[in-house]
A and B are shown apart, each in its own frame.
Chain A
Amino acid sequence: MPNRVAIVGIGQTHHAGHRYDVSFEEMLNEAVRAALKDAQLSIKDICAIITSNMDPFEGRGCSDTIAVAEIGAYLKAGVKPQTGGTSGATIFSVAWTYVASGLFDTVLVVGGEKQEEVGGDSQMAIITAVDELILRPFYTGALGGLAMLASKYIAETGCPEEIAALARVIMAENAVGNPYAHIRRKITIEDVLKSPMLIYPVRLLHMSPQSNGATALVLASEEKAKKITDKPVWIKDVVTVHHSGFIRYLSGLSPDPSSHEVAAKRLFQRNGITKPMEEIDIFEMYDPCIWEQIIWMEDFLLLGRGQAPKLIEKGVTKRDGAFPISPSGGVVSANDIGATGLTRFAEAALQIRKDAGDHQVTKEVNLALVSGWGAANWTILGLLSKSIT
C-alpha cells in the first residue's frame, strides 16, 4: 500500500498582468507565506521544497538556486523539475512522490512566473521548443499549435464558433467570483465573437493571458496531515504521460492517440472509474485556449467525439451545473506559467474544502479531476478526494 499524501496548505498571490511592486523571488515568497499560514506551519516544519518556472520564458536559469532564500530552501532538500507549461503540475506530481516515498513527510511546492522582469518572452522561447532543423523555421509558439488543434476539431465536428464563445463567457463568469484570477470582467458572447482573430480560429478572448503570480501548496504524509489540519485533501492518484511530437499528432502523421487519452485511460483504469462524468464531481482543467477546453473534454474520455458542444449549450459545465469545469475561471482567466498547473490543484482542493468563496460550486465535491498540459504534449492528470479511501 503506497503511503497516502494530503494537501494541507494552500496559498496563492493575486494573478495579475504585472507585479511591479515585487521581484520574482518576493512574489514566490508571498505564495509560500500564504500556504504556510493556511497550514499553520512555519518553514522549519518543511523538509523539502520543489519549485519551478520556465527558464527561457522567464529569462533566468536555475531559478531554484537563485530563489533559495525566498522559497525557504536554505539548508533543505529539493529539486527543480521543468516541463514547459506543465511545470506547475509536474512539481505537484514530483512533490507527491517525495512524500509518498516515506523519506520526506512535509514538502512545500511552489511555482511562479514573472516574464517581463528580466526580458523573458514565452512565445519566442516556445518556438525553440521544437526541432531546430525542420520545424523551428515555421513554428508559431503555443498559439499556432492550439489553433491547428481547434481548426482540426472544427473540420471534424462542425463545432460552431458560438459554442467557444459561450464556453468563454462561462469562464469569465467564474473568474468574476475568483478574487485571485487575472482577467475578471463580465463579457458577452458578442464580445468574444468580435474580438480580434489571432490565428484562425483562435481569437484574442479565446486565449489565456500572460500573467504574473505564484502558487504554493504544502503536502504531508497521512500521519502529519491528520495532525496539521482537520480538512486534508487527499491525493488519490496522479498520472504523467508525454507525447513526443505535437505536430506529428496534429497532422495525423502519427497513428498514436493523444497523451490526454492515454493518461485518462490509465487514471480511470487504475482507480476503477467507469463513468467519469458521474463518479467525478468537478474538473479543474488546464485549458490554455477555450477551444481546447471543448476538445479536451472529449480527449480525456469524458464524452464521445463531438459531444462536448451540446453539454456546454446545456450549461452542464457551469458552476451550478452537473459537471462544473474550471470553476476558478481556468487558464483563460490567469496564466502565470510556472504556477498555472499547480493553481489547478490548488483550486480543486479549495472546492473540496468548500473554501472557494464566491466561486464555490453549488454541488458537493468529493472527487475532483485535475489536469496539466505543456511542452510537446505533456499531460498530467490527477484525482483529489475528500475521503482518504
Chain B
Amino acid sequence: MERKVAIIDVAQTKYGVRPDVHLPELAFEPVEEILKKTGLKFTEDGTGIDATVICCDDYWDGRTISGVYGTDVAGGHLRHEERLEADGTLGVFYAMLEILAGHADVILVISYCKESHTEPRLVENMSVDPIFLRPIGLDFLSAAALQANAYMTKYGITAEQCAKVVIKNRGNAKLNPYAQSVAKLTIEDVLRSDMLAFPIRAMDSKPVSDGACAVILAVEDKAIKFTDKPVWIKGIADCYDLHYPGDRQLAECQSLVTASQKAYKMTGITKPVEEIDVVELCETYSYQELLWSEGLGLCAPGKGGKLIESGMTEIGGKIPVNPSGGMISGNPAIVGGMTRVVEGVLQLRGEAGAHQVDGARIALIQGSHGICGQHQCVIILANDQGGR
C-alpha cells in the first residue's frame, strides 16, 4: 500500500429499542458527535471531509434506496456519497479503498439500523434464495440453528460452552455504557431460556436492537494533523462463501479462514494469539463466537469450546474477545461490524473505560453478512505503539 490509512475518530449511539427517534435522527446522533469531536466540516477544498459512505439495508429500513435517510444527515447533499448494502466493516473497507485510490483523503462512514420498527424474521426471510429457501421459511435464525447443530455435533461443543459465551459477554456489557442488555445472568438462566430454534435459545441470541455508528478515515498526513491518537488499518480482507446451506461445510467457516489469512498476511501476523491484544467479533448467536474464533485462528478447528473454558478470552485473559459485550449484548444487524470497529478503536486509544484491555496495541475486528456468516470481513487495527 502506497498510502497509509488511519481511523481518526469514532462515535456510536447507545444501543436499545428507540421509539423516540425517526431513523435519520438516530443516524444523526453519532454524526453530530463525531463532527463535534473532530471539528471537521464537509468541504470541497480538501480541508475537511471529502466524501461519505453509508451502510444500510432497504428491507431493514422499510424503504427502498434507504441510503437517502443518511444523505442529509451525513453530508451527502450535492457531494460524493456511496451507499453499500453490507455490514459496516465493508463500508470501512470501501472507504479505505477510496483513499488508497486517491479519490478522497478524508471519508465519513456511517451505518444505521432500527430493527425494532420491522419484523426481523420477515426481513431475513427476504434475504435468502426466493425459489427454494424462502418458501420453507428459512431466516437467519433457523439457518444459524442448522450451523450450530452441524458445528456442535461434529466437534462435541456443548450448550454449556455456548452459554459461557453469553455469561462472559453480558458480564462485559455491564462495563460498557453503550451496551443494551446488562441484566445479570447465570448459566442456568441461559440454558433454561425459551428455545427459539434448536439448539439456539432466547439468551443465545442477540436482542432486537436499534443504533448507529460513525467513523472517519483519513490518509496518513491528514490523520496525524487531525488527531494525536490515530488508529491505523494494517490489514483488511473480505470473502464470500456459498449461499445454500447444503452446499457448505457449515461446521467450518471457509470464508472467514480465507479472509483472516489474507488480512494476517497483509499485516505480517503469523501467530495471531501472541500478536493480537484484543478481538471484537460479530456473534449474533453464542455458538458463533466459538466458531468465528476458530476461523480467525485463535484456536484450532473444533477447539472453540476449550477456548472459552480456558478463560483466555475474558478481559484480563491472554486474548480478550468482545470486551464490549459483543453483538449478544445488543447491536443491530448491518451496524454490528462497525460497532466492532468503534470498540477496537476505543481500545487502542485507551478510551474504553471500565472495559479497557490494558496496553492494547493491535485489535482484530470481524464483521459478517448473510446467512451463517456467508460474507466475512476481517480488519486489523493498530495504534502508534502497534506500528504504523
Contacts and interface: CB of A to CB of B under 8 A. Distances in A.
Interface of A: 2-3, 23, 49, 54-57, 59-62, 64-69, 73-84, 90, 93-94, 96-98, 100-103, 117-118, 125-126, 128-129, 132, 239-245, 256-257, 259, 262, 374-376
Nearest to B90: A79
Nearest to B244: A69
Contacts of B374: 65, 68
B65 A102 contact: no
Contacts of A62: 57, 85, 127, 369-370
B254 interface: yes
Contacts of B121: none
Contact of B243 (A66, A84, A97): A66
B242 A74 contact: yes
5 contacts: A55-B126, A65-B243, A83-B83, A101-B101, A242-B76
A64 B86 CA distance: 10
B32 interface: no
B240 interface: yes
B64 interface: yes
B237 interface: yes
Nearest to A2: B102
Contacts of A375: 65, 67-68
B68 A55 contact: no
A97 B101 contact: yes
A69 B81 CA distance: 30
A56 B127 CA distance: 11
A104 to B, nearest CB: 8
A193 B98 CA distance: 47
A281 B90 CA distance: 37
B180 interface: no
Contacts of A84: 64-65
Nearest to B73: A244
A129 B103 CA distance: 28
B372 to A, nearest CB: 10
A243 B78 contact: yes
A49 B238 CA distance: 11
Given A65-B375, A69-B243, A244-B76, A82 B58 contact: yes
Given A61-B127, A68-B243, A76-B240, A376 B71 contact: yes
B97 A98 contact: yes
Contact of B77 (A79, A80, A101, A243): A243
Interface stretch (B128-136, B171-179, B309-317): B128-136
Interface in B60-119: 62-65, 67-68, 71-72, 76-86, 90, 93-94, 96-98, 100-103
A59 B125 CA distance: 11
B97 A61 contact: no
A102 B100 contact: yes
A241 B82 contact: no
Given A65-B371, A75-B254, A80 B84 contact: yes
B123 interface: yes
Contacts of B369: 62, 65
Contacts of B247: 69
Contact of B65 (A79, A83, A100, A256): A83
A74 B100 contact: no
A65 B127 contact: yes
B85 A97 contact: no
A281 B28 CA distance: 44
A118 B94 contact: no
Contacts of B96: 101
Contact of A79 (B71, B79, B86, B123): B86
Interface in B145-175: none
A128 B118 CA distance: 15
B258 interface: yes
B239 to A, nearest CB: 6
A383 to B, nearest CB: 14
A362 B1 CA distance: 44
Q: Which 3 A-B pairs have the closest CB atoms?
A: A61-B127, A65-B370, A100-B101
A176 to B, nearest CB: 33
A62 B371 CA distance: 10
A81 B254 CA distance: 24
B187 to A, nearest CB: 34
B237 A77 contact: yes
Given A2-B102, A80-B85, A81-B84, A60 B64 contact: no
Contacts of A98: 97
Contact of A94 (B77, B80, B94, B102): B94
Contacts of B86: 64, 79-80
